[in-house]
Every structure is written in C-alpha cells, then in structure tokens.
Amino acid sequence: MPLNMDKEALVELIETAFKNVRLGDGIGIFEAEAIDNYASEKETLKARAKDRKEWKNWTEIPREVIETFCSVLCFVDLEGMRFVLPAYMKFSVENHKTNASASIDSPIYALSSNPVFVEPEVDKCFTKEQYVVFAKFLKFMVLDAGEDYVDSFSASQAYEKYWAKYDSNMA
C-alpha cells in the first residue's frame, strides 16, 4: 500500500468531504481581504456582500481569485475557513508544481497555526471526515509535493503536531 494517495484521489476526497459546504455567516475571501487591508466598515460590508453574490459553493471560486488572495486564510473565521480552505487545498494539490502563487502554501500555514482550529466550536464546524482530509492533504504536501514546491517542513510539523491522529493509514 502506498504511503500517500495520488493527487486525483486527494482532490476527490476534498470534494466529497466538503460537498455542499456554504459560507453561511462566515467571513469570505473578499471580506477577509478587506479586513487585511484595514478597509472602512462600509467597504468591508460591500466586500461581504460580494462574497455572497459571487459564489454559492466553494467549488465556484475561480483559480484566479485563489492565486491573487494568498493571505485571506489568516483573516477568515471558523465558518469562513470551512468554506474557503477546501478551495485552497484543491488549488495547492492541482497546481503546486506549475504555479508560483503564495496561495500554494496558504492552506499549510492555516492548518499549522490558525487560531480557528482551537476555538471551542471547531468540532461542531468540521467533521471527522474533514479532519482526515486535512491529514492526508498535509501528508501529500510532504511526501508528494516536497520541499521543491511547497513548505514541506511546515506541512510535516502540522501533520505530526495536530493532524496525524486522523490519518487512518499512517506509515
């Protein structure tokens, strides 16, 4: 049995685990970018409305948006993380060898140190199946993507420290 899954299987796992996830009342990409840029309350509310207008499902977020907004995972809340993180993970898996965007490493950093993952409500927001996806994503970034393409050191640390316990076929 291989140590890790291929990228197509991992993308399918991401899509299945996060199927039908909606933004709800969470902070989306445009609102997070507005927060990062210290936008006025009016501009932030406009960005929030744009998040809800642009896409209903995380799978509708265009690659160009993910490429451009590399720091938003630092500014989303728990609901926003559940909505945006799968898009960034999928982007990273599919593009780590061909794209130089800083967004490639964004989900690695989110899974290693984002404070939303220690909030009391985190287990009500994410499922065990989604935790398994996080573990497998990080392991893929270490074993398959590697240090030539991603911050595999941070991915390895996050995997070992937080997510390995959810990986059913640990090597």
Looking at residue 4, what is its pLDDT? Answer: 64
Sign of CA dihedral 72, 103, 46, 79: negative
List of residues 6+ apart from 7 with CB closer than 8 A: 93, 94, 140, 144
162 closest CA partner among 52, 154, 101, 53: 154
Sign of CA dihedral 92, 167, 124, 162: negative
CA angle (82 as vertex; 36, 43 as ends), nearest 5: 30
Which residue has tokens 């299945």? 16
Looking at residue 157, what is its pLDDT? Answer: 97
Looking at residue 168, what is its pLDDT? Answer: 79
Please state, in angstroms and rounded to a whole number, the distance separating the CA atoms of residues 29 and 61. 9
Q: What is the DSSP string of 49-107?
A: HHHHHH-SSGGGS-HHHHHH--SGGGT--HHHHHHHHHHHHHHHHHHTTT---GGGTHH
70 closest CA partner among 51, 45, 88: 88
List of residues 6+ apart from 82 with CB closer than 8 A: 18, 21, 26, 125, 126, 130
Looking at residue 170, what is its pLDDT? Answer: 55
Across the chain, which has 171 residues, the per-10-residue mean pLDDT values are: 75 97 97 98 98 95 97 97 98 96 97 92 95 97 94 97 87 46
**Where along the chain do its domains lie?**
7-166
List of residues 6+ apart from 155 with CB closer than 8 A: 108, 112, 138, 141, 142, 145
